[in-house]
Amino acid sequence: MIQRNQGANLITSQNTLVIIPASGNSDDDSTTAELFTLGGKPLIYHAIDTARQLADNIEICVSSNDMNIIRTVSNYGLHVPFKLPHELYTEILDVDEIVLHAIDHYARKEVNFDNIVLLSPYSPFCRACHILKAAELLEGETEMVTGVKILTQPTGQYYLTENEDGYLQKHSDIPTFGEKDVYKYNAAFAILRTGAIRQYPRAFFRRIKKYVMDMKASFFVHSMNDIAHCEQFLMEVSECKC
């Protein structure tokens, strides 16, 4: 592509599009979670910083319906290629639809990507090293590699285990801890094949591999109350455990 959003001399990864879904509030003037300030800058800037470290031939696409987010991203020197159409906006964004919309946008410009990196703006401690190491697992018939955290007690409506082929299986019963490792998606990132998401939604993927992240890297910002915990994490002197 003519325009790239990264600098030179970075690790290369061919034919990959990074999508950062950012829902915003649409008709609401209140501050959206993506614009909460963490470490002196908006939360979404942390995701953009991570994306910019991945590779010099990766395109970064912030997909949003919110003009406050679009202006903020543009002010950070990142071109926002489109405003998310109104018909695709709901209170909870359909991420699969966002992915397909972005893929089609670039395809109309005769730019096609083999892989997609979905990067959450709500996971400020997800690092480029996590994604690069996870990308090594996207081989063979694998449809997706995604970040997970280890569960130590029941939570939510599901849990995951790894089958004998190394793919994740979803369960809805109460897990038995100690027999095998139990996981849950942490929603920090996912790397998926474009061909797979074009065929069917991620809910139908059956060849998903895990990348285990610790609790700090898995931290997900739900509200302003979570920012205080994030600020504490920033104060702690620790190395990234990738």
Q: What is the pLDDT of residues 130-140, one digit of tens each?
A: 999 999 999 99
Domains (range + CATH), the chain? 16-235 (3.90.550.10)
Q: Is the pLDDT of residue 11 over 70?
A: no
Q: Is the pLDDT of residue 147 over 50?
A: yes
Report the alpha-carbon distance of residue 237 to residue 85 in Å, rounded: 42
Report the alpha-carbon distance of residue 112 to residue 54 in Å, rounded: 18
Contact 49, 7 (CB under 8 A): no
Which residues, other chains included, contact 229 with Cβ-Cβ below 8 Å and sequence gap of 6+?
219
Report the alpha-carbon distance of residue 135 to residue 122 in Å, rounded: 21
Q: Is the pLDDT of residue 71 over 70?
A: yes
The whole-number pLDDT of residue 237 equals 56
The whole-number pLDDT of residue 111 equals 85
Mean pLDDT of the chain: 86
Most confident range, picked from 23-37, 43-57, 94-108: 94-108
- The better pLDDT of the pair 43, 30 is held by 43
pTM: 0.88
Report the alpha-carbon distance of residue 170 to residue 160 in Å, rounded: 5
Contact 191, 116 (CB under 8 A): yes
The whole-number pLDDT of residue 57 equals 52
The whole-number pLDDT of residue 13 equals 39
The whole-number pLDDT of residue 77 equals 92
pLDDT tens profile 220-241: 998 888 998 898 888 775 566 6
Sequence letter at residue 81:
P
